[in-house]
Amino acid sequence: KYGLAEKEDQVGVVTGLAWTSVGGELLSIEALRLPGKGRMKTTGKLGDVMKESIDAASSFVRSISPELGIKPPKFETLDIHVHVPEGATPKDGPSAGIAMVTSIVSVLTGIPVRKDIAMTGEVTLRGNVLPIGGLKEKLLAALRGGIKTVLIPEDNAKDLPEIPDNVKEGLTIIPVSNVREVLKHALVRQPEPVEWDEAAEEAALAARRSESQGAAQTAH
* Amino acid present at 38: G
Q: How far is the CB of 47 from its own copies (least distance, A)?
A: 10
Q: What are phi and psi of 98, to 5 degrees?
A: -70, -25
| Residue ranges in 157-196 that form contacts with its own copies under rule CB under 8 A | none
Q: Which stretch binds Ca ion (CB under 5 A): 27-35, 68-76, 153-161, 189-197?
A: 153-161
Which residue lies nearer to Ca ion by CB, 70 or 182?
Answer: 182
Residue 55, C-beta contacts closer than 8 angstroms, at least 6 positions apart: 40
Which residue lies nearer to its own copies by CB, 107 or 118?
Answer: 107
Judged by CB under 8 A, the number of residues near its own copies is: 56
Among 4, 20, 86, 166, binds its own copies (CB under 8 A): 86
With 0-12 / 13-18 / 19 or more C-beta atoms within 10 angstroms meaning exposed / middle / buried, residue 33 is middle
- 3-state SS, residue 81: strand
Which residue lies nearer to Ca ion by CB, 116 or 154?
Answer: 154
What separation in angstroms does the CA of 70 have from each of 15, 32, 48, 120?
A: 24, 16, 28, 25
Q: Which stretch binds its own copies (CB under 8 A): 17-25, 26-34, 143-151, 167-175?
A: 26-34
What separation in angstroms does the CA of 213 have from each of 76, 156, 205, 210, 220?
A: 24, 58, 12, 5, 14
Is residue 21 a contact residue for its own copies (CB under 8 A)?
no
Is residue 81 a contact residue for its own copies (CB under 8 A)?
yes
CA angle, 131 as apex, 168 and 176 as ends, to 5°? 60
Catalytic residues: 95, 138
Is residue 200 a contact residue for its own copies (CB under 8 A)?
no
Give the DSSP letter of residue 24.
E
| Residue ranges in 93-112 that form contacts with its own copies under rule CB under 8 A | 93-94, 97
Identify which of 98, 104, 86, 94 has the alpha carbon closest to the alpha carbon of residue 45.
Answer: 86
**CA atoms of 52 and 41, how far apart (whole Å):** 12
| Residue ranges in 36-75 that form contacts with its own copies under rule CB under 8 A | 41, 43-45, 48-49, 52-53, 55-56, 59-60, 62-63, 72-73, 75
| Interface residue list for its own copies (CB under 8 A) | 1-2, 10, 12-13, 28, 30-35, 41, 43-45, 48-49, 52-53, 55-56, 59-60, 62-63, 72-73, 75-76, 81, 83, 85-88, 93-94, 97, 122, 124-126, 130-131, 155, 198, 211-213, 215-220
